[in-house]
């Protein structure tokens, strides 16, 4: 699974939620940059609240069993879901929501996003797994007048590079001990160690 595909899946799930108004893949410091995307194609409106920020994930792959070469790729996704607190940016007006209420609304949005991922994971071919998710309340506090939650979750995809084949038997010796002991990157020195 490519990173752009995962970002597109999240973008579609966020776009389908009527209570989330913006999605961005990037970094927290992008919040003050007016970025053109499918929510604001001409970069004229700016960030709409509440919004979901998907940070660049950590990706790992592991070989399950050396005999069957089953490989899984895990993406540790990190989201920041943010809404206004004490004012409504769209209406340029004050509101009276408490922090607990704003956090609770953000928690509901996070759980709906997880539910969407879970439903998609069961429909996808091949299906993929979703690990436990974790929610932290207001972890960054990077914008005055907002409240945020940070959600992390692991997505585990079975992978295989079906579009790339190499004849390793012709390329490499069968016995790893028979690989040459000079540095092939250095064409001026082919003396074995």
* Confidence at residue 75, expressed as pLDDT on a 0 to 100 scale: 94
Q: Which residues pair with 24 in a beta bridge?
A: 53
pLDDT digits (tens, 9 = 90+) for 52-69: 999 999 988 876 555 556
- What would the pLDDT profile of 128-152 be if each residue is shown by its tens digit? 999 999 999 976 666 778 899 999 9
Q: How many Cα atoms within 13 Å fall on the side-chain side of residue 153?
A: 21
- Which pLDDT value is given to residue 34? 79
**Residue 135, SS3 per DSSP:** strand
Distance between CA atoms of 91 and 145, rounded to whole angstroms? 14
- Output the average pLDDT for the chain: 85
pTM of the model: 0.78
Contact 24, 53 (CB under 8 A): yes
How much is the average pLDDT of 174-188? 84
Q: Do 25 and 57 meet the contact criterion of CB atoms below 8 Å apart? A: no
| pLDDT tens digits, 86-134 | 766 555 566 678 889 999 999 999 999 999 999 999 999 888 999 999 9
The contacts of residue 127 (CB under 8 Å, 6+ apart) are: 121
Give, in order, the Cα–Cα distances in Å from 177 to each of 67, 109, 173, 174, 186. 21, 55, 8, 9, 20
- Any idea which residue has 């069968």 for tokens? 174
The stretches of 51-178 forming alpha helices (DSSP H) are 99-123, 168-171
Q: In this predicted model, what pLDDT tens digit does every residue of 28-42 receive, in sequence order?
A: 887 667 778 888 888
């Amino acid at each position: 699974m490519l990173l752009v595909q995962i970002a597109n899946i999240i973008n579609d799930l966020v776009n389908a939620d009527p209570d989330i108004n913006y999605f961005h893949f990037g970094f927290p410091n992008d919040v003050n940059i007016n970025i053109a995307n499918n929510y604001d194609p001409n970069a004229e409106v700016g960030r709409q609240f509440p919004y979901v920020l998907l940070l660049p994930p950590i990706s790992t792959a592991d070989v399950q069993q050396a005999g069957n070469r089953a490989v899984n790729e895990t993406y540790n996704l990190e989201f920041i879901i943010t809404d206004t607190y004490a004012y409504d940016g769209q209406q340029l007006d004050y509101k009276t929501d408490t922090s607990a209420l704003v956090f609770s609304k953000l928690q509901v949005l996070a759980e709906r996003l997880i539910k969407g991922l879970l439903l998609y994971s069961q429909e996808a071919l091949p299906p993929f797994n979703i690990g436990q998710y974790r929610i932290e309340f207001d972890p960054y506090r990077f914008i005055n007048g907002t409240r945020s939650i940070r959600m992390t979750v692991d997505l585990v995809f079975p992978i295989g590079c079906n579009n790339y084949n190499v004849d390793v038997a012709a390329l490499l010796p069968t016995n790893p001990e028979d690989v040459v002991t000079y540095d092939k990157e250095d064409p001026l020195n082919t003396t074995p160690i």
